[in-house]
């Protein structure tokens, strides 16, 4: 098992810089997830680590060795592609055997290894099948199996589950987590999927336009987003934002005035900020509470009932919409007036440059 | 595709090896083609400036542009040039027009379609000398040819096609050879049009003509470009068909540039003049190539 | 009513499809038919469709010329030229398809443009070069020239096939530790085999039928079937039986080969135009 370290990695296509200096260290056994909007450079970064894309500048270290110029096959990595990229002309057994054969492993050893992995992944009945004869989920398993047999130091995954249907995706997610626990291999995993990122990761790296926005554990990103981008990106449905005027702060919190004139005292520090500055307040839908009367009143515009929960979209007097996630059985109707309670301990404040004010108390799960 | 083709490889260490590997793999082909296209060209250029006749060794030395002057002021040259263009354009029009219709026809399900298709593409496998002989003698011979017999059977006087309409007849023979090639490519293209697209057009109430015009034809654009590209390459240099059927005659009525140069070089032993013709042919081919590549290349990529 | 219209359309299509096919194929059919006629039958007017077949024309052709000598030359030249061209084109097409640079497109078009040079334009120098290198009238010389004339088209065809192979499959090979060479031979080639096969088929057909260079660069020793047939053309033009027999002999192998392999050939003749 291995550590991976990225030191100011950059990648330029033509004149366009796609990866703009990314530094990151990944510990042994760690499961790291790259997330970010489409086109932000997740795949490119992963492929640079794999050796499939060239590194324009910066250093890539695996187990402390600089591997910028090492061939992909010699970096001790294995990769699972989004399209699986199985060798169509080889059967499942041969697909898994190919890398072992190239590395010169003796026949008997290869067979033992492949059979062992096939058993773990329940692929035994299909060893003689060609990829074309397998279902999507089975192909996915073969791709994972092909990676596992090589006993790599690091696993790389590029959106491995995105071609599966929802049910299978859920199942494979659990299997992959279990597999990771069992093998304990360092893993880098690219995904679009919030749930995959939150449930599987030890550490999430949020990327945007080739830049790291935040690195942290899933709950750290959830409870303490570093800036507006991360706050908006992590969590579903996304956080609500509205503007407010900063009034002043002390060591225990900062107070802001909302549009309707009410004030909110949020437990975050605001060193050096001038009163009167426009700030942004953010609060997640699951933290807003409904009340029948009180300040912050609006009108229910849309109700989405998902069974276990209900999403209530409330239009505020200033026209902004605030989404509230509440109980599945809540009794409200469209167009009825409603009031919102914003628990200050769950509110986030963002300065005009988008950076979050530091919370006075870290969330216990995100220490 | 455009983007991928045109991004330049970045300049890191592995990129440099990639670039070098790519170059190494490409270079054997590029090198021999470079030699193949440059060396004879330079030699031709050189001869074209010389007085060089194989039967008259007294005539030698630097000729300057005499050979060119002689050639370009020769009325035969203009005639041959025109014939070349007529041949290329005529065969392209016939083979592509015919093949488009045939592709739609042989896309239909009918009894024995497989065998009929094989029959249609068969002429492509026949060597040019054989097809020329076949048409000249067995088909179009004014006395013994099958076509003449057919004309007599319906009370017409047989026509000596190759004497009366030499260029048109050569064109038909060449079109017969190249039509199958166009059918092969266009038929594959028509068949790749997926059923759903056609069904959708039918649901929209499009009749067969509208379907052909708005669904099938646009879909064939790329395939037609390919046919134009490949056929032009061959049509510019038609030789055997002319040599076997009309020997360029009567007069120069069916002489194209290739045949004119050939007759200069090998029949009149005028190496200098033939080389000048060669240079001119190369220049013309390049002009055509530039236009063609411009028009077609966009279609070939992406 | 609708059904009736459909039936009549189908009948029309069948008649048209067969009519055109028979018309286009007729000259070949007639050639084969005539080759089994005696010279008298061959020029009878009106032409005979039914007659007592005879092998006399074939007998005379075999007597006059050593068919096997010509046929062997054609096969040797075609196979050699195709094999060498493919061996050169595979790496070139691989490089263009998977390691594209900004010059790739230009290189490909330049290669194709070399094919547009009229051979007759460079006949004299090639003839002289061949003579000086003692390659005149040798199978080697003709194979080299045929290889060079077909190389650009072969590179193009292979390039279009290779581009259809998904890059991640080759990258998976690289991750598995394959060298460039192993990636090409163990992953790419097996995948592109159908494309390579049809490219080879097309090249064989083009070489088999190539007339200009084979007529001008060979005389006896390396003369292929195109020269064989040319020797029957002028002096014996009116001996239709012999002419047909010789022609049939010259085209039969490639015609049968083409019929057998046409499915395979069609797959490759798309030049990436179908997608
Ligand atoms: N070969 C290339 N040439 C030029 N630009 C490229 C190339 N490959 C990727 N890019 C650009 O790099 C950027 C990042 O691409 P990348 O594939 O890494 O995004 P991504 O985060 O994986 O997106 P997605 O979530 O859609 O997979 C994109 O803007 C893309 O246009
Ligand atoms: Mg991606």
The stretches of C115-138 forming alpha helices (DSSP H) are: 123-132
Closest residue on chain B to C241 (Cα): B138
Q: Which segment of B46-60, C104-118, C195-209 scores lowest on mean pLDDT? A: B46-60
Output the DSSP codes for A316-361.
-TTS-EEEEEEETT----TT-EEEEE--GGG-EEE-TTSBBPPBSS
Domain limits for position A361: 239-366
Residue identifier of the C-alpha nearest atom 1 of ligand 1? B4
Instruction: With a cut of 50, say whether residue B9 has pLDDT above it.
Output: no
**Is the same domain home to A226 and A246?**
no
The answer to whether B21 contacts chain A (CB < 8 Å) is no
Residue C253: C-alpha distances to residues A354, C86, C242, C257 (Å): 77, 22, 18, 6
**Is the same domain home to A24 and A162?**
yes
Give the pLDDT score at B217: 79
CA A200 to ligand 1 center in whole angstroms: 24
pLDDT digits (tens, 9 = 90+) for A161-215: 888 888 888 888 998 899 899 888 899 999 988 889 999 999 999 999 999 999 9
State chain B's mean pLDDT as an integer: 80
Q: Which segment of A53-57, B96-100, B297-301, C147-151 scores lowest on mean pLDDT? A: B297-301
Give the pLDDT score at B302: 44
**Is the same domain home to A167 and A294?**
no
Ligand 1 atom closest to A190 (CA): 22
Q: Which of the residues C29, C116, C178, C219 would you substitute to probe the B interface, choosing the one with the greatest number of B C-beta atoms within 10 Å?
A: C116
Instruction: With a cut of 50, say whether residue B271 has pLDDT above it.
Output: yes
The C-alpha atoms of residue C68 and residue B259 are separated, in whole angstroms, by: 30
* Across B114-138, average pLDDT: 90
Give the pLDDT score at B208: 74
Instruction: Compute the half-sphere exposure of residue B222: CA atoms within 13 Å on the CB side of its CA.
Output: 19
Confidence band for B7, pLDDT divided at 50, 70 and 90: very low
Ligand 1 pocket test: which of A43, A45, A194 has the largest number of ligand atoms within 8 Å of its C-beta? Answer: A43
- Residue list, ligand 1 pocket, CB within 6 Å: A 13, 18, 36, 38-44, 192; B 3-4, 7
The answer to whether the CB atoms of C177 and A102 lie below 8 A apart is yes
**Is the same domain home to A193 and A246?**
no
Token pair of C123 as six digits: 């006949």
DSSP one-letter code for C266: H
Ligand 1 pocket test: which of A19, A42, A54, A192 has the largest number of ligand atoms within 8 Å of its C-beta? Answer: A42
| All structural domains of chain C | 66-231 (1.10.3720.10)
What CATH number did the domain enclosing A158 receive?
3.40.50.300
* Across C226-252, average pLDDT: 79
Closest residue on chain A to B19 (Cα): A54
The 10 Å Cβ neighbour count of residue A257 is 15
Give the pLDDT score at B2: 36
Instruction: With a cut of 50, say whether residue C142 has pLDDT above it.
Output: yes
Q: Are the C-beta atoms of B177 and B128 separated by less than 8 Å?
A: yes
pLDDT digits (tens, 9 = 90+) for C158-189: 998 898 888 899 999 999 999 888 998 999 99
The answer to whether the CB atoms of B233 and C243 lie below 8 A apart is no
* Whole-prediction pTM: 0.83
Among candidate residues A212, A210, A236, the one with its CA nearest the CA of residue A222: A236
DSSP one-letter code for C16: H
Of the two residues B248 and C4, the one the predictor is more confident about is: B248
Q: Which residues contact C67 (CB under 8 A, 6 or more apart)?
A: C61, C228, C249
**Largest interatomic CA distance in chain C:** 77
Give the pLDDT score at A11: 92
Instruction: With a cut of 60, say whether residue C262 has pLDDT above it.
Output: yes
* Across B14-35, average pLDDT: 81
Give the pLDDT score at C227: 84
Give chain A positions within 8 Å (CB) of C190: 89
Q: Which of A204, A231, A258 is the last residue of a domain?
A: A231
* Across C89-103, average pLDDT: 89
State chain C's mean pLDDT as an integer: 84
**Is the same domain home to A221 and A244?**
no
Give the pLDDT score at C92: 93
CA A43 to ligand 1 center in whole angstroms: 7
Q: Are the C-beta atoms of A121 and A171 separated by less than 8 Å?
A: no
Give chain B positions within 8 Å (CB) of C257: 125
In percent, the amount of chain C with pLDDT more than 70 equals: 93
Residue A101: C-alpha distances to residues A94, C23, C175 (Å): 9, 57, 13
Token pair of B252 as six digits: 């120069």
In percent, the amount of chain B with pLDDT more than 70 equals: 85
Q: Domain boundaries in chain B?
A: 2-48, 66-301
Give chain A positions within 8 Å (CB) of C175: 50, 52, 72-73, 77-79, 99
The answer to whether A59 contacts chain B (CB < 8 Å) is no
* Across A79-102, average pLDDT: 92
Of the two residues C231 and B134, the one the predictor is more confident about is: B134
CA B74 to ligand 2 center in whole angstroms: 65
Query: Given 3.40.50.2030, 1.10.3720.10, 3.40.50.150, 3.40.630.40, which CATH number is that of B66-301?
Result: 1.10.3720.10
Please give, rounded to a whole number of angstroms, the shortest distance from the CA of C91 to a CA of chain B: 5
Give chain C positions within 8 Å (CB) of A81: 168, 171-172
Closest residue on chain A to C189 (Cα): A89
**Is the same domain home to A75 and A182?**
yes
CA A83 to ligand 1 center in whole angstroms: 16
Of the two residues C265 and A32, the one the predictor is more confident about is: A32
User: How far is residue C53 CA from its own chain's centroid?
Assistant: 31
Please give, rounded to a whole number of angstroms, the shortest distance from the CA of A20 to a CA of chain B: 15
Long-range Cβ contact pairs of B105-108 (< 8 A, separation 24 or more): B105/C13, B105/C16, B105/C17, B105/C20, B106/B183, B106/B187, B106/C17, B107/B187, B107/B190, B107/B191, B108/C13, B108/C17
CA B105 to ligand 2 center in whole angstroms: 44
Confidence band for A315, pLDDT divided at 50, 70 and 90: very high
Residue identifier of the C-alpha nearest atom 31 of ligand 1? A39
The C-alpha atoms of residue A103 and residue A2 are separated, in whole angstroms, by: 20
Give the pLDDT score at A93: 94
**Is the same domain home to A65 and A209?**
yes
- Chains touching chain C through at least 3 C-beta pairs below 8 angstroms are A, B
Q: Which of the residues C2, C121, C261 would you substitute to probe the B interface, choosing the one with the greatest number of B C-beta atoms within 10 Å?
A: C121
Q: At what angle do helices C104-114 and C67-98 cross, to 10 degrees?
A: 160
Among candidate residues A330, B245, B26, the one with its CA nearest the CA of residue C211: B245
State chain A's mean pLDDT as an integer: 90
Confidence band for B194, pLDDT divided at 50, 70 and 90: low
Residue A41: C-alpha distances to residues A77, A163, A190, C19, C35 (Å): 20, 20, 10, 60, 70
Listing from the earlier edge strand, what are the strands of the sheet with A211-216?
A77-80, A154-158, A186-190, A31-35, A203-208, A211-216
The answer to whether A51 contacts chain B (CB < 8 Å) is yes
What CATH number did the domain enclosing A272 receive?
2.40.50.140
* Across A32-43, average pLDDT: 93
Q: Which residues contact A352 (CB under 8 A, 6 or more apart)?
A: A277, A278, A279
The answer to whether C186 contacts chain A (CB < 8 Å) is yes
Give the pLDDT score at C218: 86
Residue identifier of the C-alpha nearest atom 6 of ligand 1? A13
The 10 Å Cβ neighbour count of residue A226 is 20
First to last CA, chain B: 5
Please give, rounded to a whole number of angstroms, the shortest distance from the CA of C175 to a CA of chain A: 4
Interface pTM, i.e. ipTM: 0.86
Residue identifier of the C-alpha nearest atom 23 of ligand 1? A39
Give the pLDDT score at B298: 64
Q: Are the C-beta atoms of A11 and A56 separated by less than 8 Å?
A: yes
Torsion from C-alpha of B289, B290, B291, B295, nearest 10 degrees: 100
Q: CA torsion sign, B132 to B133 to B135 to B140?
A: positive
**Is the same domain home to A217 and A92?**
yes
Task: At B225, give phi and psi (nearest 5°).
Answer: -55, -45
pLDDT digits (tens, 9 = 90+) for A103-137: 889 999 999 999 999 988 888 999 999 998 898 88
Give the pLDDT score at B5: 37
Instruction: With a cut of 80, say whether residue B45 has pLDDT above it.
Output: yes
Query: Which of B7, B8, B14 comes nearest A54 by C-beta?
Result: B14
Instruction: With a cut of 60, say whether residue C2 has pLDDT above it.
Output: no
- When divided into structural domains, chain A yields a total of 2
**Is the same domain home to A139 and A20?**
yes
Give the pLDDT score at C261: 85
Q: Are the C-beta atoms of A45 and A19 separated by less than 8 Å?
A: yes
**Is the same domain home to A310 and A222?**
no
Closest residue on chain B to C252 (Cα): B126
Instruction: With a cut of 50, say whether residue B252 has pLDDT above it.
Output: yes
**Residues flanking ion ligand 2, Cβ below 5 Å:** A 43
Q: Which segment of A149-153, C9-13, C17-21 scores lowest on mean pLDDT? A: C9-13
Give chain C positions within 8 Å (CB) of A88: 169, 191
DSSP one-letter code for C219: S
Strand residues in chain A grouped as ranges (E): 4-13, 16-26, 31-35, 57-62, 65-66, 77-80, 154-158, 186-190, 203-208, 211-216, 240-250, 253-257, 263-266, 278-283, 289-291, 297-305, 309-315, 321-327, 337-341, 348-350
Give the pLDDT score at B6: 37
Instruction: With a cut of 90, say whether residue A218 has pLDDT above it.
Output: yes
* Across B186-214, average pLDDT: 74
Give chain C positions within 8 Å (CB) of B139: 27, 30
Among candidate residues A92, A12, A4, the one with its CA nearest the CA of residue A55: A12
Instruction: With a cut of 60, say whether residue B116 has pLDDT above it.
Output: yes
Q: Which residues contact C99 (CB under 8 A, 6 or more apart)?
A: B9, B18, B19, B21, B22, B25
Token pair of A361 as six digits: 């108390």
Instruction: With a cut of 80, say whether residue B62 has pLDDT above it.
Output: no
Give the pLDDT score at B3: 36
């Amino acid at each position: 098992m291995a550590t991976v370290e990225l030191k100011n990695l950059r990648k330029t296509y033509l004149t366009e810089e796609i990866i703009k200096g990314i530094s990151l260290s990944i510990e042994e056994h760690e499961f790291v997830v790259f997330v970010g909007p489409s086109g932000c450079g997740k795949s490119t970064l992963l492929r640079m680590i794999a050796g499939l894309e060239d590194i324009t500048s910066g250093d890539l270290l695996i187990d402390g060795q600089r591997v910028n110029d090492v061939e992909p096959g010699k970096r001790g990595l294995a990769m699972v592609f989004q399209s699986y990229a199985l060798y169509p002309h080889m059967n499942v057994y041969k697909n898994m055997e190919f890398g072992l054969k190239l590395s010169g492993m003796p026949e008997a050893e290869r067979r033992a290894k492949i059979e062992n992995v096939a058993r773990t992944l329940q692929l035994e009945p299909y060893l003689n099948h060609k990829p074309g004869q397998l279902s999507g989920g089975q192909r996915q398993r073969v791709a994972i199996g092909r990676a596992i047999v090589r006993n790599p130091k690091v696993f790389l995954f590029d959106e491995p589950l995105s071609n599966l249907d929802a049910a299978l995706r859920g199942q494979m997610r659990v299997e992959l987590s279990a597999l990771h626990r069992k093998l304990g291999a360092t893993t880098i995993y690219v995904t679009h999927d919030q749930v995959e990122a939150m449930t599987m990761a030890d550490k999430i790296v949020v990327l945007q336009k080739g830049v790291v926005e935040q690195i942290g554990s899933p709950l750290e990103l959830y409870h303490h987003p570093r800036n507006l981008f991360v706050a908006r990106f992590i969590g579903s449905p996304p956080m609500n934002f509205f503007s407010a005027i900063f009034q002043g702060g002390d060591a225990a919190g900062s107070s802001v005035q909302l549009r309707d004139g009410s004030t909110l005292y949020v437990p975050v520090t605001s060193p050096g900020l001038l009163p009167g500055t426009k700030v942004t307040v953010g609060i997640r839908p699951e933290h807003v509470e409904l009340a029948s009367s009180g300040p912050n009143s609006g009108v229910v515009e849309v109700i989405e009932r998902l069974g276990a929960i209900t999403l209530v979209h409330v239009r505020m007097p200033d026209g902004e919409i605030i989404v509230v996630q509440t109980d599945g059985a809540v009794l409200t109707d469209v167009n009825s007036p409603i009031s919102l309670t914003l628990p200050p301990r769950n509110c986030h404040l963002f300065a005009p440059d988008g950076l979050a004010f530091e919370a006075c108390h870290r969330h216990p799960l995100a220490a | 595709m455009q983007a991928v083709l045109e991004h330049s490889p970045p300049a890191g260490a592995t990129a440099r090896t990639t670039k070098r590997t790519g170059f190494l793999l490409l270079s054997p082909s590029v090198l021999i083609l470079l030699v193949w296209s440059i060396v004879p060209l330079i030699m031709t250029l050189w001869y074209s400036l010389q007085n060089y006749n194989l039967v008259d060794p007294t005539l030698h030395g630097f000729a300057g542009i005499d050979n060119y002057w002689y050639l370009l002021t020769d009325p035969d040259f203009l005639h041959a040039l025109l014939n070349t263009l007529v041949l290329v354009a005529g065969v392209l029009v016939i083979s592509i027009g015919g093949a488009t219709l045939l592709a739609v026809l042989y896309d239909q399900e009918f009894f024995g379609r497989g065998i009929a298709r094989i029959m249609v593409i068969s002429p492509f496998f026949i060597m040019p000398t054989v097809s020329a002989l076949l048409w000249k003698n067995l088909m179009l011979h004014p006395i013994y040819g099958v076509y003449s017999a057919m004309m007599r059977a319906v009370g017409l006087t047989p026509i000596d096609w190759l004497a009366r309409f030499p260029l048109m007849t050569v064109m038909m023979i060449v079109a017969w050879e190249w039509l199958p090639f166009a059918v092969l490519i266009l038929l594959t293209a028509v068949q790749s049009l997926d059923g759903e697209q056609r069904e959708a057009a039918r649901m929209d109430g499009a009749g067969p003509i509208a379907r052909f015009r708005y669904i099938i034809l646009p879909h064939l654009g790329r395939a037609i470009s390919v046919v134009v590209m490949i056929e032009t390459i061959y049509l510019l240099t038609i030789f055997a068909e002319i040599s076997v059927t009309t020997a360029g005659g009567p007069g120069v009525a069916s002489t194209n540039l290739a045949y004119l140069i050939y007759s200069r070089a090998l029949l009149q032993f005028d190496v200098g003049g033939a080389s000048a013709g060669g240079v001119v042919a190369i220049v013309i081919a390049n002009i055509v190539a530039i236009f063609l590549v411009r028009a077609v290349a966009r279609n070939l990529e992406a | 009513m609708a059904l009736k219209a459909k039936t009549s359309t189908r009948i029309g299509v069948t008649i048209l499809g067969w009519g055109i096919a028979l018309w286009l194929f007729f000259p070949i059919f007639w050639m084969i038919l005539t080759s089994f006629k005696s010279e008298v039958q061959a020029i009878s007017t009106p032409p005979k469709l039914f007659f007592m077949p005879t092998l006399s024309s074939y007998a005379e052709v075999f007597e006059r010329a050593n068919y096997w000598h010509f046929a062997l030359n054609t096969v040797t030249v075609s196979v050699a030229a195709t094999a060498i061209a493919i061996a050169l084109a595979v790496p070139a097409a691989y490089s263009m398809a998977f390691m594209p640079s900004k010059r790739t497109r230009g290189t490909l078009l330049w290669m194709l443009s070399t094919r547009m040079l009229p051979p007759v334009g460079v006949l004299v120098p090639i003839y002289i070069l061949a003579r000086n290198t003692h390659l005149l009238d040798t199978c080697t010389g003709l194979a080299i020239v045929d290889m060079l004339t077909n190389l650009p088209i072969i590179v193009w065809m292979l390039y279009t096939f290779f581009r259809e192979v998904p890059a991640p499959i080759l990258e998976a090979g690289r991750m598995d530790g394959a060298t460039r060479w192993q990636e090409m031979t163990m992953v790419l080639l097996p995948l592109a085999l159908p494309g390579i096969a049809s490219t080879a088929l097309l090249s064989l057909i083009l070489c088999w039928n190539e007339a200009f260079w084979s007529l001008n660069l060979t005389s006896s020793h390396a003369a292929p079937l195109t020269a064989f047939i040319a020797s029957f053309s002028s002096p014996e033009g009116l001996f239709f039986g012999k002419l047909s027999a010789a022609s049939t002999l010259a085209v039969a192998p490639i015609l049968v080969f083409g019929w057998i392999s046409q499915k395979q050939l069609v797959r490759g003749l798309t030049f990436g135009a179908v997608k």
